[in-house]
Amino acid sequence: MTIATSLGTSAHGPSGASAGRGVVIGTAALTFSDVIAVARHNARVTLDPASLTQVAATRTIIDALAADTEPHYGISTGFGALATTFITPDRRAQLQASLVRSHAAGSGPEVEREVVRALMLLRLSTLMTGRTGVRPATAETYAAVLNAEITPVVHEYGSLGCSGDLAPLAHCALVVMGEGQARDATGVLVGGKEALAAAGIAPVVLAEKEGLALINGTDGMLGMLVLALDDLTRLLVTADIAAAMSVEALLGTDAVFAADLQQLRPQLGQADSAANLRHLLHGSGLLASHAGPEDASVQDAYSLRCAPQVHGAARDTAAHAALVAGRELASAIDNPVVTIDGRVLSNGNFHGAPLGYVLDFLAIASADVASMSERRTDRHLDASRSKGLPPFLAHEVGVDSGLMIAQYTAAGIVSELKRLAAPASVDSIPSSAMQEDHVSMGWHAARKLRRSLDGLGRVLAIEIMTAARSLDLRAPLAPAAATGAVRDLVRTVAGGPGHDRFLSLEIEGVAGLVASGAVRLAAGTGLA
């Protein structure tokens, strides 16, 4: 299974998305495309009526336990280290509200709107499984906040990934209660009460168990993982495009990408990457210009020759991460949880280790793909290795610096990506009076992965910009149709060979083409 096919569907049920009708949320698992539609494209959500009936049935179990004189965790007790403290009925609404208020303790910059929408969607999906014990009205209000495009303010710091993403989810729950801060649909910062009032939404007064159900999940980690996998689908194809342009411009060979050679090592991602390179380089006049028995390019440098092996390993890593994410999308994460046969039980499913591990793994892959790309960029600029190209691709050597400092920028980013590849998931730190004595740090793994993927896109953009200039300098020899089309796209935002000019704007322009998917589209169809 490839990452692309993983992102299209859930492994545990049909998609909730219907073209033109938004995303239907019920007991079935959401798909990756559902999450992307709501988080990035503001798709509306609709609650499945049959699932709402199940939510209501489960709530009757909670109401019965709330009336019991015996304590039940999360219903008539305190939380965490206070789990044995009985709370009388007249104080339980305050208990739930106090839980949310105290846990909304985030600090630092606001996280991105798409992250908040993803984590809210995923929490709502768990509420709709009927395993949390919330009232239907609470789920309906949560959905209304999403559809009104109200974005609670969630901060960078606060989650340890222990009982899930407590602080980020608490900031969202606070707005559902008509408190806290949010951004309205236009991005203006308002109070939670004002945001709900403007949208005609009545605040929720939390009942027993609901505070826990709104904040006890892995939704922030999972949301950022799904978003990252969507980005990687584009970036790993872009990495193949960049490598193909470099192989051509550096007068390398495509013979090493032959299918029979790749089949000797049947790694799935490697096969896909090699197939992309063959497709991209098909019909290249540059490669034809030096092909034949006398071609000295059989032993190209590893950064050229081994691109399928490295890019393919990253693809396989992403495919594994997609499997983990698919299972998590099919999960009902809460503590305590209402089982299908009506028991209310504490559990440890909120621990973020499965997500933290793969988030860290993806940061390693991102750093390595970027590292290989930067090495290819450097080869273009070194006259001793570039097979006839001018030093630094400068127009007038000695007067012009060419793309010398563009490589510095790529190298600086790669250095940071290596630091970001250090795993967060091994850095547990105890909390809650040693009750939560081992935590996943999955939120932190996700936050650094987002920064890592941004850096990877920029490093690939610098390679593509550099390779485009090298291709121009090889004229009149012509590149392949696909790589030539990408070179032409680059020329819409960055000039060709010539005297030095303000380079930062050109780098940003090409980085924008990478981020938007325009580079991927320019290369045409037929890429895995």
446-456: average pLDDT: 97
On the question of a common fold for 23-216 and 225-287+299-523, the answer reads no
CA distance 270 to 266: 8
309-322: average pLDDT: 98
pLDDT per residue over 264-295, tens digit each?
999 999 999 999 999 999 999 999 998 877 66
Specify whether the CB–CB gap between 57 and 340 falls below 8 A: no
Q: What is the pLDDT of residue 292?
A: 75
CA distance 268 to 338: 40
Q: What is the pLDDT of residue 12?
A: 30
DSSP 8-state class, residue 488 = H
pLDDT per residue over 91-145, tens digit each?
888 889 999 999 999 999 999 999 999 999 999 999 999 999 999 999 999 999 9
- 321 pLDDT band, cuts 50/70/90, is very high
Asked if residue 221 has pLDDT above 70, the reply is yes
Residue 509: CB partners within 8 Å, gap ≥ 6? 493, 494
3-state secondary structure 159-170: CCCECECHHHHH
DSSP 8-state class, residue 26 = S
415-434: average pLDDT: 87
Q: What is the pLDDT of residue 330?
A: 96
| Secondary structure tally for the chain: helices H, strands E | 21, 10
Q: Which of 73, 157, 302, 408 is catalytic?
A: 73
Which residue type is seen at 433?
A: A
pLDDT per residue over 339-392, tens digit each?
999 999 888 888 889 999 999 999 999 999 999 999 999 999 999 999 999 999
- 71 pLDDT band, cuts 50/70/90, is confident
Pairing state of beta strands 45-47 and 22-25?
A: parallel
Q: What percentage of the chain reaches a pLDDT higher than 70?
A: 93
Specify whether the CB–CB gap between 175 and 182 falls below 8 A: yes
Asked if residue 1 has pLDDT above 70, the reply is no
CA distance 244 to 282: 10
Torsion angles phi and psi, residue 13, rounded to 5: 165, 165
Residue 200: CB partners within 8 Å, gap ≥ 6? none
Whether the model clears a pTM of 0.85, i.e. scores above it, the answer is: yes
Q: What is the largest CA-CA distance in the chain?
A: 89
Q: What is the pLDDT of residue 251?
A: 95
Q: Select from 467, 354, 371 the least CA-distant residue to 419.
A: 371
CA distance 393 to 251: 15
- 158 pLDDT band, cuts 50/70/90, is confident
Q: What is the pLDDT of residue 6?
A: 54
Domain boundaries, the chain: 23-216, 225-287+299-523
- 82 pLDDT band, cuts 50/70/90, is low
Q: What is the pLDDT of residue 509?
A: 98
Long-range contacts of 401-409 (CB under 8 A, 24+ apart): 401/500, 402/500, 403/465, 403/466, 403/469, 403/503, 405/503, 406/377, 406/462, 406/465, 406/466, 406/503, 406/507, 407/374, 407/377, 407/378, 407/381, 407/462, 407/466, 409/458, 409/462, 409/507
CA distance 352 to 218: 6
- 456 pLDDT band, cuts 50/70/90, is very high
Q: Angle formed by the axes of helices 353-381 and 442-473, to 10°? A: 20
- 10 pLDDT band, cuts 50/70/90, is very low
Asked if residue 485 has pLDDT above 70, the reply is yes
Asked if residue 311 has pLDDT above 50, the reply is yes
Asked if residue 423 has pLDDT above 90, the reply is yes
CA distance 334 to 331: 10
Judge: domain 225-287+299-523, CATH 1.20.200.10. Answer: yes
The CATH architecture assigned to 23-216 reads Orthogonal Bundle (1.10)
Q: What is the pLDDT of residue 93?
A: 85
User: Is residue 357 annotated as a catalytic residue, yes or no?
Assistant: no
- Between CA 207 and CA 65, with CA 104 as vertex, the angle to 5 degrees is 25
Asked if residue 421 has pLDDT above 70, the reply is yes
- 21 pLDDT band, cuts 50/70/90, is low
Asked if residue 34 has pLDDT above 80, the reply is yes
Asked if residue 18 has pLDDT above 70, the reply is no
Specify whether the CB–CB gap between 119 and 46 falls below 8 A: no
Asked if residue 84 has pLDDT above 90, the reply is no
8-24: average pLDDT: 50
- 9 pLDDT band, cuts 50/70/90, is very low
Query: Which helix or strand (DSSP H or E) is residue 337 part of?
Result: strand 337-338
Tell me the average pLDDT of the chain. 92
CA distance 487 to 435: 57
Residue 49: CB partners within 8 Å, gap ≥ 6? none
